Chain A
Amino acid sequence: MLQLLWLIPAIPFLGALILALVGRAFSRRMVAVVGVGSVAIAAGISLAIVPAALALQAPYTQVLWTWMNVAGFRPEIALYLDPMSFLMILVVTFVGFLIHLYSAESMEQDEGYSRFFAYMNLFVGSMLVLVLADNLLLLYLGWEGVGLCSYLLIGFWYKDSANGLAARKAFIVTRVGDTAMLIGLFLLFHNLGTLQIQDLMHRASVQWPAGSPYAIAAAALLLGGAVGKSAQLPLQTWLPDAMAGPTPTSALIHAATMVTAGVYLIARTHVLYSLAPQVQFAVAVVGAATLLLAGFSALTQPDIKRVLAYSTISQIGYMFLALGVGAWAAALLHFMVHAFFKALLFLAAGIVIDALHDEHNIFRMGGLRKELPIAFWTFLIGGCSLAGLPLVTAGFFSKDLILWNAWASPHGGLGLWVVGIAGVLLTALYTFRVIFVVFFGTRNTPVTHRPRYRVIVPVAVLAALSLVGGLVKAPLLAFLNSALPALVEVRAGFLTELLSAIVSGLAFATGLGSAYLFFIRKRQYADALAASSAGRRLHAFWLADWAFDWFYDRAFVRPVVWMAAINRRDAIDSVFNAIAWLNRSAHFTLSRSQTGSLRWYAAVIGAGAVIFAGVILLA
C-alpha cells in the first residue's frame, strides 16, 4: 500500500495541471469533478494507507527520482513517511477535501471557477510536498509553492486593487521569513554537508554540542521562516489582510495548509532546537506573546473573518508555545484539532456571509440563530472547541495538554502557564462575542441565500470531528511519540494536571460569562467601556493590531519606496548596460572577420599555425 504514497501529492498536482491547461473548456460540473475529485482521491489514498502506516516499525522512505550522480553530487527526490508526516497528510488531504467540496457549491457563481480549483489543487499539492519531503530543499520547494498559491488565492479577485495589495503583502512579509530560512539552509548545508533531514539531524547532534553557535544560528534562522509562514510575532501582519481572498481559501490557508507549515518545520527539525535551548525558549516566548496580542486584537474586530484570522494567529501561538517547551506531540495534536474547528468556523462564517449577500460586519448581522440553524449550530460547536469548552470539545483536550506541558516541562514555567490561561479567557471572550452578536439579538440584514448539501455535509463532518477529535488524544500521542521525543514531566509542585484543567475551565467560564454580560445582557456596558477615553484608545490600538502595520510602514515600506524613487534610473543598471555594450561591440568587431573570402580564411588558418608553433616553442 505504501507504494502509493507518491500519488498523494501527485494527483492534486495533476488536477491543477488539467484545470490550468484545459479547465476553460470544461463545464462547471466537470471542473468540480476534477478539482474536488483529485483531492478526494488523495484523501482516499491517505486513508487507505492508514493500516500500513500504523504497522510501520521504522520510517518509510520512497525514492522517486535520482536526477544524476556526478562527482559525488546526487540530488534525489524522496518522500519520507513517519507518524508526524502521516498525521499531516491525513489532515491536509481530508480537511482539504471537505473545503474543496464546500467550494464546489459556494464558488459556483464565480467566473473564475476553474482557475480557483487549479490554484486550490496546487495549494494542497504543494503542502503535501512540504510535509512529505525527506530533504529540506524539497521541503523548501513546497514551502515556496504554498507561498505562491496563497498569493494567487488571496488576490483571486484581482480586479479589486485592495485584494492585490493584500496578496502582495502576504507574499512580501512571508518572503522576509523565507529569506531567513534560506540562509539557514545554506548554513546547514555549508556546515553539515547535507540537506537530507534525517542525516542532517543526526550529523547536527554528533557534530554540534548543545548551545553551539552554529546550532543557535541555524535554529534561529529556521524560526525566522516559521514565524513568517505561521504568522507569528513579528511577521503576523499579513494574515488578517489575507482575508481578502474567498472564504474557502481562508479556511484552507488557516486549517489545512500554509500557516501550520512553520509548526511542522520546527517539529521536523526539533533536534536543532534541542541543541539550541535559547532559541527553543524564544519559540515559547514568541508563541506566548503572539497568543496574547492576537487575542486582544480579536476582541475589537468588527469583521467576522478578521476575528477568525486573529484567533488563528493566537492558536498557532499555542502551538509555538508547545513547541517551545518541547511538547512536540501536543503541538501536533493541537494542529489537528485546530484544523478541524478552524475550517469549520470559516466555512460556517462563509455560510453567514453568503446568506447576507457578502456582509462581513458582525454588527450588521444579528439574530441569525433561527434563520440559519445549520450555520448557528456548527459555528457554535466550532466556537466552543476553539474556546475550549471543557470535557465535550476536542479543543479543550488539546489546549489543556499544552497548558499542562507549559507548566510541567523542564523548559516551562509559571509565566508561560499564566499567559496560556489568560489566552483561554480571551479566546472565550472574543469567540462568544461573535456568536452572541451574530446569532442572537435582533435581525439587521435579511437572509437571501441558504446552503445546500455540498456546503452542509462538510460543515457537519467538521463539527463532528471538532467534538470527538479529542477522543483520539491518548493513542495519537503514543503514535506521535514513536517518532518524536516524549516530554519528561519534571515539575509537579502545587499545580497538578487536574488543577490546571480546572483553572482553564474556570477561565473559559469567565470569558463566556463576560461575553454574555457584555453582549447579551448589558450591551451598554460594552459600549460604555469602549467609549471611555482609555477604552477608546485601547480599542483603536488593538483594532490596528498593536500598530504593527503603522510601524512597519514607517520603518520599512516608506524608506524603501523613497530609495526606489530616488534611484529611479538605477545606478547599478549602468554596470549591466556596460556589459551588454561590451558584448555588442565584441560581436561587431568579430563579425568583421567573417568576410566570406576564401583567401582570408586560409590566411587565418596559417596564422594560427604560426602562432601556436610559436607558443609551443617559447613556452
Chain B
Amino acid sequence: MNSTDLLALLPLLLIAATAILVMLAIAVRRSHLASALLTVLGLCAAFGTLFIAAPLVPRDVTPLLTIDSGALFYIGLILAASIAVVFLCYGYFKQEEEHRPEELYLLIAIAALGSGVLVCARHFASLFLGLEILSVALYGLISYERTTKASIEVGLKYLVLAAASASFLIFGIAIVYFEFGTMDFGGILPDSPAGAVDSATIAVGVTLIVVGIGFKLGLVPFHMWTPDVYEGAPAPVAAFVSTVSKGAMFALLIRFFDRSGMRGDSSLVLVFSIIAIASMFAGNLLALLQDNVKRILAYSSIAHLGYLIVAFEAGGAIGRSAVAFYLVAYFATMLGAFGVVTVLSRPGNDLGDLSGYRGLFWRRPVLASVFTVMLLSLASIPLTAGFLGEFYLVAAGVSGSLWALVIILVVTSAIGLFYYLRIVVALYSRTAQPAGAWPSRINSHSLSWTLGVLTAAVILIGCYPSPVMRLIQTMVAGSG
C-alpha cells in the first residue's frame, strides 16, 4: 500500500474518520446540532475527496478492495443519500430531543462506511466486513426509538433475520472457498470458459450467497421483513434502509457476478428471473390495497428492486448504465417520499395511516405537491426521474432480449399505478382533516431544503437527464 493507494482510499477513510470524530464529540459534550453538523461536514468532505480519487482509478487497494469509477460513483450516491438522511433525521428528532438523537448520526456514518466498503469489495472478506458494518449499524438505527415497543420489536426481527441470512451467506462463502480455495471474486471459476456452475457443491454454495444478498435487497422470497421494518423504524431510517443499504448491496451484486464470471450461468439466470418475477408481482400486489403509507413504500421498494434485476440480467454496458441511472432516480424519489412522511411524523408517532393523508393538499399544498411528484416518479410517469429510469431498464431488457421479464415489468408497473394513485387521490380528497392534524408548517429548514432539492432533482432528471446520463456513461466506460 503506497500513498497513491491511500489517496484513492481517501473517501472511505474520511467516512471512518467522521464516525470517530462524531463519537468523540458526543463523549465530550452532547449536542444534537453539533453531531448532525459534524456528520454532514465529514460526509461532504468525503464526497469532495471523490474528486481527488477520480484521476487515480481504477486501482486495487490491498487484495480486499478495488476502487474504480463504478465504486466511486456508488460511494458518491451513498454519501449524497446519507447526507439527505442526516438532514431528515435532524428535522425529525429536533421536535423531541429527549430521545438523545446524537448517536444516530454516528450510526449513519458507520452504515455509510459499511456501504462504501461493500461497493468496493472484490473479496469475500471485504464483502462480509462491509455487510456486517452496515448491518450492525442498522440494528441500532432501526430500533433507535427505544421507548416504543414497535421499534424494539422490528429491530429484533431485523436482527434475527439478518443474522440468519448472514449465516447463510457465510456458509455459502465457506463452500465456495472449499471448492476453489480462494476468496477473491476473480479467482472463482477462472478456468471454466462458459462460467458453468457444474458441481452440486458449488450450486449450493452460490445459492446460499444469493440468499444472503437477496435478504438485504428485500427480494422475494426473502422480503418478509421489509414492510414490518419500514413501518416500525423512524421514517428517515426507513429512507436509509430502502436506499443506501439496498443500493450498496446491488452494486456489490453486479460486481460479484461480473468478476466471478458466473453471470453467464443459465441456472443462475433462471433463479434470478424467478426472483425478479416474484418480486415484481408480490411487491405490487401486496401494496395494492394496503392502508399504511410506510408499508406501501416498503412493498413498492420490493417491486422496484425486482425491476432492477431485469437490467442486472441484461448485463453489458447498457445494463450497468440502466442500473446506475435507475438507482439515482430511485434514491431521489424514495428519499423524497419518506421525507414527506418525516415532515408529518413525530418521533415515536409516525404518520403511517393512509387516512391521515386525506385532504393534505387543501391544508399543505406545497407538501402535498412534493409528495405527488414523488409518487408519480415511483409510478414512472413521464417527466419524472422514475419514468426515465424505468425506460432505461426496459431499453436494457429489450437489448438483452429478456422479453418475458420486460413484459412482466410493464404489466406489474401498470398494477403499481393503482396504489400510487390511491395515495394521490387521498391527498387531494375534499374531506380534509381538522386543522391541527398536521404541523402547520415545516418545523425545520433542514427538512424543507432537503425536500426542495430532492423535488428539483426528480423533476430535473426527468426533464433534462443528459448530464446524469453522461456521467453514468463515463463511469461505465471506466469500470471493467
Contacts and interface: CB of A to CB of B under 8 A. Distances in A.
B466 interface: yes
A604 B290 CA distance: 21
A605 interface: yes
A65 B286 contact: no
A73 B392 CA distance: 10
Contacts of A598: 157, 160-161
Contacts of A591: 286, 290
24 contacts: A65-B463, A65-B464, A68-B465, A68-B469, A583-B288, A586-B281, A587-B288, A590-B285, A594-B227, A594-B228, A601-B157, A602-B160, A602-B164, A604-B221, A604-B222, A605-B161, A605-B222, A605-B224, A613-B204, A615-B271, A615-B274, A616-B267, A616-B270, A619-B266
A605 B415 contact: no
B206 interface: yes
Interface string B301-337: 0000000000000000010000000000000000000
Q: Which 7 residue pairs are nearest across A and B when measured between Cβ atoms?
A: A608-B221, A619-B267, A601-B224, A71-B395, A616-B203, A587-B288, A613-B207
A587 B286 CA distance: 5
Interface in A581-619: 583-584, 586-588, 590-591, 593-594, 596, 598, 600-602, 604-605, 607-609, 611-613, 615-617, 619
A391 to B, nearest CB: 55
A532 interface: no
A555 interface: no
Given A67-B465, A583-B418, A612-B207, 6 more contacts: A602-B161, A608-B221, A609-B168, A609-B211, A612-B210, A616-B206
A612 B271 contact: yes
A584 B288 contact: yes
Interface of A is mostly: helix
Interface in B440-480: 463-466, 469
A590 B224 CA distance: 11
A607 B221 contact: yes
A71 to B, nearest CB: 4
Interface string B410-439: 000001001000000000000000000000
Contact of A71 (B200, B282, B289, B399): B399
Q: Which of B207, B214, B466 has the most CB of A within 10 A?
A: B207
A583 B210 contact: no
Contacts of A615: 267, 270-271, 274
A612 B285 contact: no
A64 to B, nearest CB: 11
Contacts of A498: none
A583 B415 contact: yes
Given A598-B160, A601-B157, A613 B203 contact: yes
Interface string A55-93: 000000000011111110100000000000000000000
B464 A608 contact: no
Interface in B369-408: 388, 391-392, 395-396, 398-399
A68 B388 contact: yes
Interface of A: 65-71, 73, 583-584, 586-588, 590-591, 593-594, 596, 598, 600-602, 604-605, 607-609, 611-613, 615-617, 619
Contacts of A602: 160-161, 164
Q: Which of B161, B224, B290 has the most CB of A within 10 A?
A: B224
A66 B466 contact: yes
A594 B286 contact: yes
B177 interface: no
B23 interface: no
Contacts of A71: 318, 395-396, 398-399
Contacts of A601: 157, 161, 224-225
B268 interface: yes
B143 interface: no
Contact of A587 (B161, B285, B466): B285
A259 to B, nearest CB: 31
B271 A616 contact: yes
Nearest to A595: B224
Contacts of B160: 598, 602
Contacts of B215: 605
Contacts of A583: 285, 288, 415, 418
B468 to A, nearest CB: 10
Nearest to A71: B395
A402 B36 CA distance: 78
Contacts of B203: 613, 616-617
A617 to B, nearest CB: 5
B38 interface: no
B204 to A, nearest CB: 5
Contacts of A586: 281, 285
Contacts of B214: 608
Given A615-B271, A619-B267, A584 B211 contact: no
A70 B392 contact: yes
Nearest to B269: A619
B189 interface: no
A353 B288 CA distance: 58
A311 to B, nearest CB: 43
